């Protein structure tokens, strides 16, 4: 019996009739139904990749949106690496079925070498078609393929790993990791100045402590080609220099796709580890570390200012409107920075579109709720938060406005000078944040979902570096 040019036995039809499952593999000559250990994948929506699947699977019928292909037709390398052993595995955007492919009954028998050559040509052609669209597809990663590492994920669960979630065996991982350690970027960094150039850290001890904390949460496993130390170094290098994944692949001896995955995974883990470095100090701590330039404003609890990061022009019209900054004249992401009088970053808001006003970010970030009665909030003229501070009994320290046709009085001019001398700390903190090139250069669309994690890691690294104020300023 034949169906669409394929040899299908009566036994195979009997198996399909006996199964009660509604989910089955649509590939000719494959009789798999939904069962433990199998995953089923829909045909890709992208036209070129969809055609490549149809050619390889020799689909003799029109493919519908309900047709599925089981995991037996994909190799382990077709799947994205897992964030943790129990996570559901997802296909790469460029994956094409390559195992247990159907054979037509009318196909002419070929000698083994000739058959291999023909198959190799087909796979190369399909690969060229897929790679032409792979970069655009990476920017459109769906939410279920974005690895979000929350605190519960970092701690890890006790669920047993399903058979289809097992990572592919990598018997040479230790050899690769050892070779990478020997010839990677870290082997070239022997001085603190070089460490700061590549990672933003001025101390090897600090770097080692970060690695140690990361190892406790994300231990080395066979699914990683790089050690934890190298993955942390890769992540920090991307933050500090914002080099391409292709350049990182040369420095660390893995593919650019692997570098991209390791960076996105590690930066989320580091954001959880380093969140304690960004904390809101008490009044007593601030008074014990008040610098000379704040002696006139000893009630100051926090100095606030906003900063913007350029971002790639979104394709969505609504997102373009939300991210366009009139002040910068381009599309940006905007965030609020809070600095203590001693120069330590104590608050970082989530990122907003560049269109958001300073007042809106202050209100929605709820930074004023962290302050106590009679605390001073030092801001620039653009922060029109008088009413919000009044409702919370907070002191608003802001340079006086110039009235129409009336110059500033001598007292007001001196006040402007004093506030400017004190506010310079928040500007220097923002400058140190911008020393991380990933926060000063244009952010690509595929990194936008990770920018809150990136911002917090950079802020923590600033606090771990040399202080803004020297000891003689206190």
How high is the pLDDT of residue 115?
59
Average pLDDT on 104-132 reads 56
How high is the pLDDT of residue 424?
84
Q: Percent of the chain at pLDDT above 90? A: 38
Q: How many CB atoms lie within 10 A of CB 187?
A: 10
Taking the CA atoms of the chain, what radius of gyration do you get in angstroms?
A: 29
Which residue would you say has higher pLDDT here, 149 or 263?
263
Is the pLDDT assigned to residue 31 strictly greater than 70? yes
d(CA 353, CA 333): 5
Average pLDDT on 85-97 reads 78
Is the pLDDT assigned to residue 187 strictly greater than 80? no
Q: Is 292 exposed, middle or buried (0-12, 13-18, 19+ CB in 10 A)?
A: exposed
Query: Between vectors from CA 354 to CA 351 and to CA 366, what angle results, nearest 5°?
Result: 45
Is the pLDDT assigned to residue 422 strictly greater than 60? yes
Average pLDDT on 310-332 reads 92
Main-chain dihedrals φ then ψ at residue 302, nearest 5 degrees: -155, 145
Spatial contact of 29 and 19, defined as CB atoms under 8 Å apart = no
Query: Which of 103, 100, 110 is closest to 69 using CA atoms?
Result: 100
How high is the pLDDT of residue 442?
93
Element (H, E) at 68: strand 68-70
Relative to beta strand 330-339, strand 300-310 is antiparallel
How high is the pLDDT of residue 452?
96
Is the pLDDT assigned to residue 201 strictly greater than 60? yes
Encoded tokens for 300: 């100051």
pTM of the model: 0.62
Q: What percent of the chain is helix, strand and coil (3-state, nearest 5)? A: 50, 10, 40
How high is the pLDDT of residue 368?
94
How high is the pLDDT of residue 85?
63
Domains, the chain, with CATH or none: 20-103 (no CATH), 185-276 (no CATH), 278-473 (3.30.420)
How high is the pLDDT of residue 34?
84
How high is the pLDDT of residue 336?
95
pLDDT digits (tens, 9 = 90+) for 211-225: 999 988 877 666 788
d(CA 433, CA 212): 24
Spatial contact of 376 and 341, defined as CB atoms under 8 Å apart = no
Spatial contact of 412 and 400, defined as CB atoms under 8 Å apart = yes
- pLDDT-derived band at 474 (thresholds 50, 70, 90) equals low
How high is the pLDDT of residue 57?
86
Relative to beta strand 376-378, strand 40-42 is unpaired
For all residues of the chain together, what is the average pLDDT? 79
Is the pLDDT assigned to residue 324 strictly greater than 80? yes
Question: CB-based contacts of 48: which residues, under 8 Å, 6+ apart?
Answer: 129, 130, 132, 133
How high is the pLDDT of residue 59?
82
How high is the pLDDT of residue 77?
80
| Lowest mean pLDDT across 128-137, 218-227, 343-352, 401-410 | 128-137
Is the pLDDT assigned to residue 1 strictly greater than 80? no
pLDDT digits (tens, 9 = 90+) for 212-259: 999 888 776 667 888 999 999 999 999 999 999 999 999 888 999 999
Is the pLDDT assigned to residue 81 strictly greater than 50? yes
How high is the pLDDT of residue 180?
46
- pLDDT-derived band at 155 (thresholds 50, 70, 90) equals very low
Query: Between vectors from CA 200 to CA 199 and to CA 202, what angle results, nearest 5°?
Result: 105
Average pLDDT on 445-458 reads 94
d(CA 431, CA 459): 11
How high is the pLDDT of residue 271?
94
d(CA 161, CA 159): 6
d(CA 196, CA 203): 8
Spatial contact of 9 and 2, defined as CB atoms under 8 Å apart = no
How high is the pLDDT of residue 270?
95
Is the pLDDT assigned to residue 396 strictly greater than 90? yes
Query: Which of 232, 191, 227, 306 is closest to 461 using CA atoms?
Result: 232
Which residue would you say has higher pLDDT here, 83 or 358?
358
- pLDDT-derived band at 277 (thresholds 50, 70, 90) equals very high
Average pLDDT on 339-367 reads 93
Average pLDDT on 277-281 reads 92
Relative to beta strand 40-42, strand 6-7 is unpaired
Q: Percent of the chain at pLDDT above 70? A: 75
Collapse the DSSP code of 201 into the 3-class scheme (helix H, G, I; strand E, B; otherwise coil) and give the result: coil
Query: Between vectors from CA 28 to CA 26 and to CA 29, what angle results, nearest 5°?
Result: 120
d(CA 281, CA 370): 10
- pLDDT-derived band at 118 (thresholds 50, 70, 90) equals low
| Lowest mean pLDDT across 106-115, 146-155, 229-238, 332-341 | 146-155
How high is the pLDDT of residue 154?
32
Spatial contact of 225 and 170, defined as CB atoms under 8 Å apart = yes
Q: Residues in the chain, how many? A: 474
Q: Supply the DSSP symbol for 311.
A: B
Is the pLDDT assigned to residue 8 strictly greater than 50? no
């Amino acid at each position: 019996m034949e169906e669409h040019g394929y040899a299908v036995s009566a036994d195979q039809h009997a198996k399909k009739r006996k199964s009660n499952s509604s989910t089955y593999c649509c590939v000719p000559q494959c009789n798999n139904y939904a069962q433990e250990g199998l995953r089923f994948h829909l045909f890709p929506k992208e036209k070129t990749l969809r055609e490549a699947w149809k050619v390889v699977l020799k689909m003799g019928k029109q493919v519908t949106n309900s047709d599925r292909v089981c995991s037996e037709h994909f190799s382990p390398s077709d799947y994205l690496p897992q964030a943790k052993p129990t996570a559901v595995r997802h296909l790469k955007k460029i994956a094409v079925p390559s195992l247990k492919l159907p054979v037509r009954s009318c196909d002419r028998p070929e000698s083994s070498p000739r058959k291999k050559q023909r198959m190799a040509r087909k796979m190369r052609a399909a690969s060229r078609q897929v790679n032409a669209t792979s970069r655009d597809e990476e920017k459109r990663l769906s939410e279920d393929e974005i690895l979000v590492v929350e605190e519960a994920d970092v701690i890890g669960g006790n669920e047993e790993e399903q058979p289809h979630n097992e990572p592919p065996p990598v018997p040479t991982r230790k050899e690769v990791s050892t070779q990478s350690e020997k010839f990677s970027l870290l082997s070239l960094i022997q001085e603190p100045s070089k460490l700061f150039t590549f990672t933003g850290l001025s101390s090897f001890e600090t770097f080692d402590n970060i690695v140690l904390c990361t190892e406790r949460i994300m231990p080395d496993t066979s699914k990683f080609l790089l050690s934890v130390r190298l993955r942390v170094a890769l992540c920090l290098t991307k933050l500090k220099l914002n080099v391409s994944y292709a350049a990182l692949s040369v420095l660390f001896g893995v593919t650019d796709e692997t570098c991209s995955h390791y960076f996105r995974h590690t930066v989320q883990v580091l954001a959880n580890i380093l969140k304690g470095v960004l904390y809101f100090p008490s009044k007593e701590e601030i008074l014990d570390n008040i610098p000379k330039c704040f002696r006139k404003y000893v009630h100051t609890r926090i100095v606030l200012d906003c900063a913007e990061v350029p971002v790639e022009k979104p394709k969505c019209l609504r997102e373009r409107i939300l991210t366009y900054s009139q002040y910068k004249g381009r599309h940006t992401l905007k965030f609020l920075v809070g600095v203590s009088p001693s120069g330590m970053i104590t608050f970082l808001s989530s990122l907003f579109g560049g269109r958001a006003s300073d007042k809106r970010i202050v209100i929605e970030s709820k930074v004023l709720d962290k302050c106590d009665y009679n605390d001073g909030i030092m801001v620039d003229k653009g922060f029109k938060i008088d009413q919000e501070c009044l409702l919370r009994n907070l002191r608003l320290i802001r340079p006086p406005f110039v009235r129409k046709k009336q110059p500033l009085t001598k007292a007001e001019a001196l006040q402007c000078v004093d506030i400017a001398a004190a506010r310079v700390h928040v500007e220097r903190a923002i400058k140190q944040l911008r020393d991380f090139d990933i926060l000063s250069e244009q952010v690509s669309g595929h990194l936008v979902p990770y920018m809150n994690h990136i911002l917090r890691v950079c802020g923590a690294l600033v606090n771990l570096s040399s202080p803004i104020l020297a000891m003689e300023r206190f």
